[in-house]
Amino acid sequence: MRIKIQVCKMVEQDNYEKGCIGKSSDFGIIDTHDVNTLNEAYIWCTSSFGSAAIFDNRFEIQRMENDDGYTPSSHEMTDFKDGKIDLWAATYSCYLSKVEETKITNLDLIAAFPELEQL
């Protein structure tokens, strides 16, 4: 069994005093990855994006990011807390699905492409 991971990202502008203040962006699927076990899926998601919470069929990871999409520096965090800059509350949703491989048979191909010559 293989596990397919599809990562979606959404960000909201975050002000230290006011919280999320309305401006947001939904990036849709930003990455896909295949692993062999759920444990490998968890390790890949958390090592890529941070600590996760479990939802129905996914891991959710939330973290603060700067305008470039990186973890803010200590200087940026100080400026954020002092109200000098806004940061972004980023949510990474790692959707998990099982991939079970089955071979395509000759009959499947003939049914899909009856006009092709059979050898």
Q: For residues 45 and 52, give the distance between their C-alpha atoms in angstroms, rounded to a whole number.
A: 8
The per-residue pLDDT for 95 is: 98
Q: pLDDT tens across 77-115, in order?
A: 999 999 999 999 999 999 999 998 888 888 888 889 988
Q: Which of 62, 119, 61, 69 is nearest to 95 (CA)?
A: 61
Q: Which two tokens stand for residue 43?
A: 């390790």
Enclosing H/E stretch for 64: strand 58-65
CA angle 50/70/41 to nearest 5° reads 30
How many CB atoms are located within 10 Å of the residue 43 CB?
12
Does position 119 have pLDDT exceeding 80, yes or no?
A: no
| Average pLDDT value for the chain | 93
pTM summary value: 0.80
